Structure 1
Amino acid sequence: MISALVSTGRRRSFTGTPAHLLTLLAAGFACWVIYANIFVISDPLVLGILFVSGILTLLFPVIGHSPNAPDNPTILDWVLCALSLASGVFFFVNAQVISDRITLLDEFTGAQFFFGTAILLLTLEATRRTTGAGLTGIVVAFLIYNWFGYMLPPPFGHGISEFSYLLDILVFTTDGVFGVPIQVVASYVFLFVMFGTLLSKAGGGEFFFDLASAATGNSRGGPAKVAVISSGLYGTMSGSPTSDVVATGSITIPIMKRLGYSKKFAGAVEVAASTGGSAMPPIMGSAAFILAEYTGTPYRDVVYAALIPAMLYYVGVFSQVHLRAVKHDLRPYSGEIPRLSRTFALGWPYIIPIAVIIGMLWVGYSPVMTAGAGALGVVIGTALSGRTRMTPWELIQALGETTLRILPVAGACAAAGLVIGGLSMTGLGMKAANVIITLSGGDLGWTLLLAAVVTIVLGLGMPTPSAYILAAVLVGPALTKIGLPILESHMFLLYYAILSALTPPIAVAALAAAAIADEDPFVIAFEAVRLAAVGFLMPFAFLWNPAILGTGSGLEIAMACIGGIVGAGAIALSFEWVGRQQSGRLAWPIRALLVLGAAASVAPNMAISLAGIVGTAVLSTALLVRPVAVPSEELPPIDNSKNTVD
């Protein structure tokens, strides 16, 4: 059942001439996106039309209709490809006429009705192929409601009863398929993915892994710590929990297993660490760009607000990994540990583009210009060293790979645009907000708890951007109605949309790790939730104390940082510590004190915060003075005859 919801079409791998042709076409499309965003001022509708039709034209031959699709594109794939191209040409040629139409008053011509319906159906099929039946089913359900919802009684009914009305809003304006989500993907997201792809192609992923290995590889539990740090660093390039798991987990999970770490723990560490990458500045994930556009907040402010929570999330994960290593005497990394000085000596060109990104955001340039400058910084910076310099063909490959990486994101965001357009024209978003407030009785705590649960449920089996978009339009108005500031409330939703990637029963990031770890994804997901416990509490913490989001005086922010570090450590200790009690476990009253101390440490009242920090630090220190290492049943003897990772 779950596999059917998340299974996607087969991603075809071409070789020879077809592969080179696809790379050139995809690279050419990437060059057009760069030109349209940086060198000209494009009409949003025209940009959206050309972007979607171009993506769909490439998507159908590349991604098959099912996981068992044949190696070569079928006749149906080529028909859908041709229809996508024809629809794009029609909309582009008639862009001025379409822009001048009076929405809901001017009747459709036969061609407009045909190609508009084609775009709608092609978008649904692209969504099904790229994200699975889960998101597609939700979008279809909303479309059915938009079309036939007039039959429902108040308050859920509406007055729309004609398909042409629906088509006019969803396809011929910037409120539907070509709305905010696809506009963001066609600009910020595409260019930042290009930055990450170029950096990865030049060897940036290996640099980050070596950096993490040099910093923590020699310590107890080194491989798990390497996974935490490298996944967080790689997440700044990928912005996708699943991609992060596949990219870094293919290295870290086998190493952890070889050194005796359980399959469950190895997979869970990678999942928890990779999921946090979508919230890690300076790039974060595509959902963060949508948040910035949707809330009207400068992306620099979003990055600034996300910095402290992201660091505290990784403090929590790292602390639990360290305590687990102490508890079970987990072994350090057994391979060759690169020296930190040598790592920087060889990889200094990779620092240049990261510095460019941070500097451009700090000065206040737009995300589009920042991403463009960062990508240029990769090309120029890596060209300064023969070891990292890319050839012209590698640059073309990176551009082509950028377009291919965007295919699933674009499919999901185009479908999400259909949901947003339908909700805006039927008013269902505000109705859903009223239901949430009614169920919670208007109480802040219950409203936030309901919002968190609904966001996680909406995100099960979905890409993070889709999960956030659905939460923003369905749950966001409820948080606004109870008086929460828009940035704080949407950061709250963003966090739970990200965490849905590791939350059972679907946990798409755990599904990716399960294939590498050879373990049940449910087992990995539940262990990952435990490791990411700080992340689930973090949104409540930064709504309680906005200084965690960087709001307030320097002293308030400093206290929030210190309190957050102490609190994250206390939460980790409450989960992982093993003491001298007869049961071998930390007594529940002590655990409760640690949790209460963690809450007090991040209190907005500085006196309470200071008392919480001191009290929690004293209690934690007392508990850690003489911990007892417990032999782990998870650690079989290492077979020294094995010289390679299985």
Structure 2
Amino acid sequence: MNNMTEEQVQELLSKYDKEARYRKYTGVLGKIATLGAVAFSLFQLYTAITGSLASQLQRSIHLTFALGLIFLLYPMNGKAKKNKLPLYDALLSILGIGVGLYWVFEYKELVYRAGMYTLTDYIVGAIAILLVLEAARRVVGLPITIISIAFLLYALYGQYLPGFLQHRGVSLERLISHMYYTLDGILGTPLGVSATFIFLFLLFGAFLEKTGVGQYFNDLALLVAGKQAGGPAKVAVFASALQGTISGSSVANVVTSGSYTIPMMKKTGYRSEFAGAVEAAASTGGQLMPPIMGAAAFLMAEFTDIPYWDIAKAAIIPAVLYFTGIWIMVHFEAKRIGLRGLTDDELPDKKETLKKIYLLLPLFVIIGFLMAGYTPIRAALWGIVSVILVGAVRKETRMSLKDIIKALESGARTALSVAAATAAAGMIVGVVTLTGLGLKFANGLIELSGGVVLLTLFFTMIASIILGMGSPTTANYIITSTIAAPAIIALLADPATGEISKVVVLSAHMFAFYFGIVADITPPVALAAFAATGISGGNPIKTGVEASRLAIAAFLIPYLFVLSPEMLLVDTGFTSAIFVIVTSLLGMLGLGAGLMGYWLRHMNWLERLISLAAGLMLIYPGTYSDIVGLAVLAIVYMIQYVQLKKQVLLNS
């Protein structure tokens, strides 16, 4: 059923995901790399158990490990030999360790003379900035690097720009000191979250993978959805929703789960582009799925000062609607072209699969601790412990000492891209605090839209998609929330008092986050769609367009939770929330039918247009629009039902 070998999967992942292009050493270098990665994980576990160090020390040591390992593991370009360490990379690795440890050894001096920096301080700070940019380029990609450089140049030369973007200018010395010797730059909140919450949850995911839970998600999805019409596509949707709890990358999700779902979809009759689009859309949605949300939930909690559990809870209904929308359209497409489900021979053994249901227990441990009010750090620690204990139940999932070391190594390696991305994105945040760019950009968007809410949201959507192209989830959120979200916050603030409510802040950040993530399937960049075509053999742009159509919910839901915050379950009653959910789901049904051209039977162009209109009315918050939309959708259904009955009678 799986048409790709593990080597082919890794090769494809390396092609579209820079994080997977690391050197695989043997001998002494292999042992050094493993030792460094394991030491990184052990340091993070130690500080999580005993308590984090002072912010500057915790973050600088985290950066020390990250820079040292990145230049050791990641080559300068794709042409470099993957198992050889050039002298210049060895020197860069040592230099990365040096600039990180500079904070450790000079900590008291740097704190005592805050604002009075020496020439050595400036030199070390400048080197740190350059190393972070190069590390981000190697392990994350060019987009985040280019954006970071653009922001740094804006800080230095923004006084020469025309219009609202102009600022007073920043000297080179002040820029360097702000970027490396304050908590508003490289060592800012983004890296702080990476050095605490995110690392532990990535480590949790690495331990889960070692127990085989990734494959178990696939088997469970096959049992739940495999026999239904178009079963393989529904398996992709269900499996990706589950994988989103442990995956921090749309592309990685596409390649790992898509390596078996896409061939299955093609085998049952789906077009190459549609098969790739289903996997790309579903895998991208994994980044929107609580409780982890591609690690962005932890950043959002820090940026908004809203409790983590409130953010995870707020993301539940939008995520369910997203996957429900894809599921509905996959179902209608399968019915339209008459696709079958999988046979019993193509499904995993039901009894064996259900025997392993205990593998899901660590996920409930995480959720339980978070609901009980424990910190994410404590929840992640107990999650890791529970993985080891649960895995010990059966021989095939039991972790040996070697497996634990491999998990520690894998978790650290996975965290390198997040550390590089958050360090680089920290510079973006630093420039915004230095220049006030966030407020300037927000005012510019509001002025462009004339203060019209829907237009402001539309322009913010476009900005978020552009800013999010080619960036990993964490960097994506940092950029969009810093630049785009303030426009929505400024527009929705109380006009009389200027007061900004918790709901406004959360909906603005979720809006920017959603559209930043959607960039993964939005042409022309659409990294997730491009990765899917590496398996499906389809056209990348057509796959991206198809994925955007399937993920239409992601383009509509953010408008909905800004205009109707009840969906975010913040300060809202149960009845209001249920009403919004039901009408939104019905709206997704109408949209799905209209876009796919099928409901109970094939739809003509007029039925499709009416169904689309009814769907949009149901999704748009408002009692009258809901009533009209529901009535129109009911009429379309009755027409479909009557004509289907006539067709059955004629055929009989």
TM-score by length of 1: 0.91
Match of 1:594 in 2: 611
1:183 aligns to 2:177 (yes or no): no
Q: Aligned partner of 1:562: which letter?
A: V
Aligned partners of 2:126 and 2:37: how far apart in 1? 26
The percent identity for this pair of structures is: 35
How far apart are 1:384 and its partner, in Å?
Answer: 2.1
Residue correspondence of structure 1 range 249-328 to structure 2 within 5 A: 249-328=258-337
Q: Aligned partner of 1:30: which letter?
A: S
Match of 1:571 in 2: 591
Aligned partners of 2:561 and 2:35: how far apart in 1? 46
Look up the SS of the partner of 2:25 in the other structure. Answer: coil
Look up the SS of the partner of 1:236 in the other structure. Answer: coil
Match of 1:391 in 2: 400
Look up the SS of the partner of 1:336 in the other structure. Answer: helix
CA displacement 1:433-462 (0-9 Å, x = unmatched): 111011000111100000001100111122
Per mean C-alpha deviation after superposition, the further-off stretch among 250-259 and 77-86 is 250-259
CA displacement 1:520-547 (0-9 Å, x = unmatched): 2212111101111111111111222222
Look up the SS of the partner of 2:165 in the other structure. Answer: coil
**Structure 1's 275 and 9: CA in aligned 2 closer, same or farther, altered over 3 A?**
closer
Alignment partner for residue 371 of structure 2, among 362, 368, 371? 362
Q: Which runs of 5+ in 1 are unaligned?
A: 629-646
Match of 1:631 in 2: none
1:46 aligns to 2:62 (yes or no): no
Match of 2:108 in 1: 96
How far apart are 1:606 and its partner, in Å?
Answer: 4.8
Aligned partners of 2:18 and 2:222: how far apart in 1? 34
For the aligned residue pairs, the C-alpha RMSD in angstroms reads 2.4
Match of 1:540 in 2: 559
Q: Which runs of 5+ in 2 are unaligned?
A: 1-13, 494-503, 646-652
Look up the SS of the partner of 1:482 in the other structure. Answer: helix
Match of 2:525 in 1: 506
Q: Aligned partner of 2:289: which letter?
A: M
Look up the SS of the partner of 1:225 in the other structure. Answer: helix
Residue correspondence of structure 1 range 31-180 to structure 2 within 5 A: 31-71=42-82, 72-103=84-115, 107-153=116-162, 155-180=164-189
Alpha carbons 1:211, 1:343 under 8 Å: kept: no
Look up the SS of the partner of 1:260 in the other structure. Answer: coil
How far apart are 1:395 and its partner, in Å?
Answer: 1.0
Alpha carbons 1:455, 1:468 under 8 Å: kept: no
CA displacement 1:18-41 (0-9 Å, x = unmatched): 434422321121110111233123
1:519 aligns to 2:531 (yes or no): no
1:560 aligns to 2:580 (yes or no): yes
Aligned partners of 1:155 and 1:223: how far apart in 2? 51
Residue correspondence of structure 1 range 194-213 to structure 2 within 5 A: 194-213=203-222
Alpha carbons 2:17, 2:252 under 8 Å: kept: no
Aligned partners of 2:146 and 2:17: how far apart in 1? 11
1:609 aligns to 2:626 (yes or no): yes
How far apart are 1:117 and its partner, in Å?
Answer: 1.2
**Structure 1's 531 and 604: CA in aligned 2 closer, same or farther, altered over 3 A?**
closer
Q: Aligned partner of 1:55: which letter?
A: A
Alpha carbons 2:618, 2:625 under 8 Å: kept: yes
Per mean C-alpha deviation after superposition, the further-off stretch among 5-14 and 374-383 is 5-14
1:440 aligns to 2:449 (yes or no): yes
**Structure 1's 220 and 156: CA in aligned 2 closer, same or farther, altered over 3 A?**
closer
Look up the SS of the partner of 1:574 in the other structure. Answer: helix
Alpha carbons 1:10, 1:66 under 8 Å: kept: no
How far apart are 1:49 and its partner, in Å?
Answer: 0.7
How far apart are 1:616 and its partner, in Å?
Answer: 2.5
Aligned partners of 2:302 and 2:41: how far apart in 1? 22
Alpha carbons 2:33, 2:72 under 8 Å: kept: no
1:449 aligns to 2:458 (yes or no): yes
Look up the SS of the partner of 1:68 in the other structure. Answer: coil
Alpha carbons 1:131, 1:462 under 8 Å: kept: yes
Aligned partners of 2:324 and 2:278: how far apart in 1? 13
How far apart are 1:161 and its partner, in Å?
Answer: 4.0
Match of 1:493 in 2: 512
Alignment partner for residue 430 of structure 1, among 433, 439, 456? 439
Look up the SS of the partner of 1:594 in the other structure. Answer: helix
Alpha carbons 1:534, 1:571 under 8 Å: kept: no
Residue correspondence of structure 1 range 333-344 to structure 2 within 5 A: 333-334=342-343, 336-338=345-347, 342-343=351-352
Question: How many pairs align?
Answer: 620
TM-score by length of 2: 0.90
